[in-house]
Chains A and B, each alone.
Chain A
Amino acid sequence: MGRFFLRRFGQAAIAIFGVTTLVFFIQRLTGDPTLLLVPETATKADIEAMRHTLGLDRPMIVQYATFLWDLLRFDLGRSFIQNVAVTTIIAARLPYTLALAGGALFVAFVIGVPVGVLLAMRRGKASSGGLMGVVLAAQSMPTFWSGILLIMVFAVWLGWLPPSGPGGFSHLIMPSVALGLLSMATFARITRTSILDELSKDYVRSARARGVSTRRLVLRHLVRNASIPVVSIAALEISHLLAGAVIVETVFAWPGLGLLTIQSIVSRDFLVVQAIVLLGAFVTIGLNFLADILYSVIDPRIRLDGGPS
């Protein structure tokens, strides 16, 4: 276990290092990142002064080292547009995105898992075919379109829910559904597969032979055993949700990190964009790491392929 853990931890550390390097170089794709950081009205002298304050007139390798050192101290810089520390700006928006991701995960889980169980139980029947069609459709649905359709139906026509903007629970419902639909499809498919896997096992056959009803079998045994892959997929799905939040938050004017990304791009507040991308990458790497560890704790056989090579 210790060996697998260390190895996997090393991989995660390399990935984090790689991502920061990637972001550092993407910034320099156009040559001079100063132009990304100054407002469009800046004069030549402003740009020159900025270049010096940022240390961009120093050698690339020094800049890179400084960049890494600042990150290690959780110093993401100050926004030039708002003149506030980037960490403060992000901290103010983070709760909104967390609430949205939580809501979406809830929707995906509560709908996706039962649908997956149903799909597995009724495999080969017409009702299952129709349901599978719905799942496939949900997977191909662009989130911005489903979001807009939700607004049309539930806010404009029926008037049941507020169309957009921040607020209480009722404001969170539609964004969560729009964002959760995609993950719902994933959960349904994974649940279906893992239940079908379980159904072919010996203990199921012997339980059936003892006369255990299918319903009882599924609820008492299968769901528990089949939940292992679902849980680990859930960890990965969270990072998809964070990326999807950019779109959904824009559609619903929900003031989380996703909307902040777009606002920062428009107002040319590049340090904020960079911080959000780094945060998203770190969360993804961290969750992947956790999922692998969790998986290997639940099912020790997994470690075999990650063993010494």
Chain B
Amino acid sequence: MSALPHEAVAVERPFRRRWWAAPMLPFILIFAAFVLLAIFAPLIAPYEPNVQNLLGRLKPPGAVVRGVTYVLGSDELGRDLLSRLIHGARMSLAAAVLSVMLSGAVGTMLGMAAGYARGWVEAVVMRIVDVFLSVPAVLLAIITVAVLGPGFTNVVLVLALTRWPRYARVAYGQTLSVANMPYVRLARFMGAGRLRILFVHILPNIIGPLTVVATLEFGLMVLFEASLSFLGLGVQPPTASWGAMLSVGRNYVSSAWWIATFPGACLFLLVLSVNLIGDSLRDLLDPKSRTRRKE
């Protein structure tokens, strides 16, 4: 970092100035609210998410049945929709956080290895990356879940398996451009080992663009988890998940609009806020790609 002080300042200043800029603030707050809901779900949720009440089936928002107030209505088994929504935030965020971390770690390491070692490592890793990126990720995820079976752990693994090449490609390109910088050459000259060079000297300098990829991927992972759950391939009932709730709501569009509407709205708000935060992060860290789309 110290080798290029003027660049570091140029990156950081607008970051500080614009990060809290007024237009972004509501979305940062929305995102923070979802995170808090997820962390403190058992404390915030008014009722147990899985407790059924057959007398209170399909009640509209605001209905009161035997002292139980369904603020956002109830589902087909009389479970409180609000409580399930709050617990569902846990599933969405946990799946997204874990899969982004896993795919980010794997992809970054492979990409850095390819960019630093070059030669056959580069050829093999980057060809594999090309192959993965040439299959529509949703299809790849679906076939893998079909083989492994549904469930939270498998969903996280599958998302990581299908998404690591995105990080690998960015880490690879960034490593290539950094690997011949004077400070890296100096470190090598002074006898630093490969791992030390990769993790101490290269990684901190390429983490910015990788963070941007991770932010944009985060929204996508939330959507993927919801899609898999919607298709019945994700988290299994009775665990609350927005995708699964939507799939139930699909069957009650004509009699109970609230079941599908609220989880969809949560999903939309979460993904929208993450995408906007990611977009503005990218504009700050990488002005060149301001107009490109995330996929």
Contact = CB atoms under 8 A, between A and B. Distances in A.
A242 B128 contact: no
Contact of B143 (A14, A193, A274): A274
B167 to A, nearest CB: 18
Given A280-B135, A284-B135, A288-B134, A273 B268 contact: no
B246 A148 contact: yes
A22 B293 CA distance: 27
Contacts of A23: 143
A273 B143 contact: yes
A58 B144 CA distance: 24
Interface in A106-159: 136-137, 139-142, 144-145, 148-149, 151-152, 155-156
Interface stretch (B105-113, B204-212, B254-262): B254-262
B138 A246 contact: yes
A281 B253 contact: no
Interface in A16-36: 18-19, 21-23, 26-27, 29-30, 33, 36
A214 interface: no
B272 A136 contact: yes
B293 A246 contact: no
Nearest to B255: A156
B142 A151 contact: no
Contact of B134 (A26, A27, A285): A285
Nearest to B257: A152
The B interface, classified by DSSP as helix, strand, loop or mixed, is helix
B127 A14 contact: yes
Contacts of A96: none
Interface in B194-243: 219, 223, 226-227, 230-233, 243
A247 B227 contact: yes
A218 to B, nearest CB: 18
Given A30-B148, A145-B260, A193-B291, A266 B246 contact: no
A276 interface: yes
Residues of A in contact with B, size category? 35 or more
Contacts of A265: 142, 146, 233
A30 to B, nearest CB: 6
Given A136-B275, A137-B272, A243-B137, A144 B227 contact: yes
B249 interface: yes
Nearest to A270: B146
Interface string B265-282: 101100110011001000
12 contacts: A19-B135, A26-B144, A139-B275, A140-B271, A144-B243, A148-B260, A149-B264, A163-B253, A247-B230, A247-B231, A250-B230, A274-B143
Chain A to chain B: the 7 pairs with minimum beta-carbon distance, closest first: A145-B264, A18-B131, A243-B136, A140-B272, A243-B138, A193-B291, A140-B271
Interface of A: 11, 14-15, 18-19, 21-23, 26-27, 29-30, 33, 36, 136-137, 139-142, 144-145, 148-149, 151-152, 155-156, 163, 186, 189-190, 192-193, 239-240, 242-244, 246-247, 250-251, 261-262, 265-266, 270, 273-274, 276-277, 280-281, 284-285, 288
